[in-house]
Amino acid sequence: MSTPGGIVRTESGRQTYAPDGLVEDGPISAAATRTRSNAESSDTSGTLAGETPYKQHGAGYLTEQGKEEVEDPIEEDPLARTKSREFEPINAGDRQTLTRLATQLSRSKSYTGSVAQSNDLERQNTLTGLKPGDEVLDPSSPKFDLYKWIRLMMSKVDEDGVKQARAGIVVKNATVSGSGSALNLQKNLGSILLAPLRFRENFSFGSKPSKTILRSFDAVMKSGEMLIVLGRPGSGCSTFLKTMCGELAGLELSKDSVVHYNGISQKRMMKEFKGEVIYNQEVDKHFPHLTVGETLEHAAAMRTPQHRVLGMSRQEHIKHITQVIMAVFGLSHTYNTRVGNDFVRGVSGGERKRVSIAEMALAAAPLAAWDNSTRGLDSASALTFTKSLRTTANLTGTSHAVAIYQASQAIYDLFDNAIVLYEGREIFFGPCHRAKGYFEEMGWFCPARQTTGDFLTSVTNPTERQTKDGYDSKVPRTPDDFEAYWRNSPDYAQLQRDIAAHEQTYPVDGDGMLQQLREKKNDAQAAHVRPKSPYVVSTAMQVKLNIKRAYQRIWNDKASTFTPVLVNCVMALIVGSVFYGTPDASAGFFAKGSVLFFAILLNALSAISEINSLYDQRPIVEKHKTYAFYHPSGEF
């Protein structure tokens, strides 16, 4: 029977060491029990023969008090101490016990050594023996494995010599403000022509009314990293993501702000490589009468590259990549189901959100920003979405910034860095594992069962945050106090060093990354596309695909399509009956003119019903323009 610390007592009363878990029940335990009972009974008369005369220790051996007792021997007679140093011969029972313990200890060390050596072995290729037709690579199979599919695609891309590009971003001293008039004005042809007439707005010498949304932000995100953006609603999370992706409609970036993508300025990035940096908005905007399959296949067709792996044709690639994305986000069963909206019956709200995620995933951008894309998703779907981003980032080197208002611990642990916003101020940016300790060192208390994401968000809420005992007068309270504390912290200094190191690797306005992105884009572009155009397919293909989508919209909405036809037929019969039998002489001249006028007026006024559909269509077209799917002129 073992004592605390792995010490066991043999049949003869000897104490020896046995590692935890190596002493089995059996004769040893029985002998140890008997020996211990004899030792306890003889504790008053002296120590056992052959033992050092220390005090007997029980369960307190591992405590500080027990350690002090072991280190403090009992005063004894010098002659007794001399006798205690004499060794007794090992009998047969002790020898058998020690042999068994030594054997078990040797086996334990051998197992530990084998585990350590296994880490030094070469990594086995998980793609060995896999072919494109295997179940793990088939998106229609329940055994589909996204990791192996991406690994296979990347290996084929390398074999075929297809150009690949990665993107990172640096934001320095970014201050963003918004103007109410700019947000309320819908930009169109009429607004451009009437701009000179808005004299007060364009030529006023006074300061324009604006509101500062973000103040002096600094951030860096390297290729293959994931950034979680935390903050309460209204803290500037959406504006931060829009600034990263160049979506500055209604926003103004200060002149001293610096935003570049591995050395490429934001202005050039938005002009030539708009499809490489995209932003997923919080609101789901889709054509409600299109099915999920038609919506995603249209997105895949607009971003299908000229050079495709596995020798697929354009249509085969569109079908295959669509099925893969639908399998990843659990949409395979909704292929023939309408997307729907608040008025048209279709998929559920969570599935519609996944359609938005899948549509943006088909854009295959090296840098993507996701604005609260987990809203409306259950916890399992949100975790699956984040895991898919993590897998894609690890294997392809893409970068993702995700704003999440309520992130579980499992989701939070998948990210590399975290940024915390408080009313437009940046109060932390750094590794995810460092964020919690940073605010605890500041003096804030994190309850035992609270997730890290909720804790970081609660720090910015005066009604939820809790201070540690004795820190009530030491912690910052206002957003300005938090920002001042952050700028004086070692973590902020580390962020500045990371930014400087990244800019040293990718100099601003350098030609290295610019040329690499151009080669990748030109390699994917179809024939007859301008080299500096941000679009992948040609204008003719854009018009062709949009006409196909328009036909699908009309066919799926048969009621709205055939009702005007039926009404026109009925009106034709009514009008024809009224003017039936009109003479061909000059007496019927007025009647025939009335028929022509009524026919033209009826068809002209019936077009008014299309105005509402055009307004519903406009935000979808604007979204697809930001994804670099097609130019707006290709839709109308």
Q: In the chain, how many domains are there?
A: 3
Question: Are 177 and 65 within one domain?
Answer: no
Range with lowest mean pLDDT among 77-81, 293-297, 462-466:
77-81
Name the H helices within 409-511.
409-412, 432-442, 452-458, 479-487, 490-505
Average pLDDT, the chain: 80
**pLDDT tops 70 at residue 446:** yes
Question: Are 365 and 273 within one domain?
Answer: yes
Task: Report which of 325, 336, 371, 329 is spatially closest to residue 350, judged by C-alpha positions.
Answer: 329
**pLDDT tops 60 at residue 59:** no
Q: Which residues contact 395 (CB under 8 A, 6 or more apart)?
A: 147, 150, 151, 154
Q: What is the pLDDT of residue 184?
A: 52
38 half-sphere exposure, CB direction, 13 A CA radius:
15
Q: Which residues contact 289 (CB under 8 A, 6 or more apart)?
A: 338, 339, 344, 553, 556, 557
Q: What is the pLDDT of residue 91?
A: 63
Higher pLDDT, 6 or 289: 289
Task: Report which of 415, 414, 442 is spatially closest to residue 428, judged by C-alpha positions.
Answer: 442
Residue 426 lies in a domain: yes
Residue 11 lies in a domain: yes
Residue 359 lies in a domain: yes
Question: Are 173 and 76 within one domain?
Answer: no
Question: Are 372 and 252 within one domain?
Answer: yes
Last-in-domain residue among 109, 127, 152: 109
Range of the domain at 232: 169-183+207-282+348-505
Q: What is the pLDDT of residue 507?
A: 87
Cβ atoms of 413 and 432 closer than 8 Å: yes
For residues 286 and 624, what is the distance between their CA atoms, to the nearest angstrom?
A: 10
Q: What is the pLDDT of residue 122?
A: 47
Residue 338 lies in a domain: no
Range with lowest mean pLDDT among 114-118, 175-179, 479-483:
114-118
| CB atoms inside a 10 Å sphere around CB 96 | 14
**pLDDT tops 90 at residue 201:** no
For residues 551 and 216, what is the distance between their CA atoms, to the nearest angstrom?
A: 49
Question: Are 266 and 374 within one domain?
Answer: yes
Reduce the DSSP state of residue 106 to 3 states and report it.
helix
Q: Which helix (H) or strand (E) element contains residue 546? A: helix 539-556
Question: Are 271 and 389 within one domain?
Answer: yes
Residue 236 lies in a domain: yes
Residue 331 lies in a domain: no
Q: What is the pLDDT of residue 48?
A: 38
Question: Are 255 and 367 within one domain?
Answer: yes
Question: Are 487 and 387 within one domain?
Answer: yes
Residue 538 lies in a domain: no
* Span 118-129, average pLDDT: 52
Question: Are 363 and 439 within one domain?
Answer: yes
Residue 131 lies in a domain: no
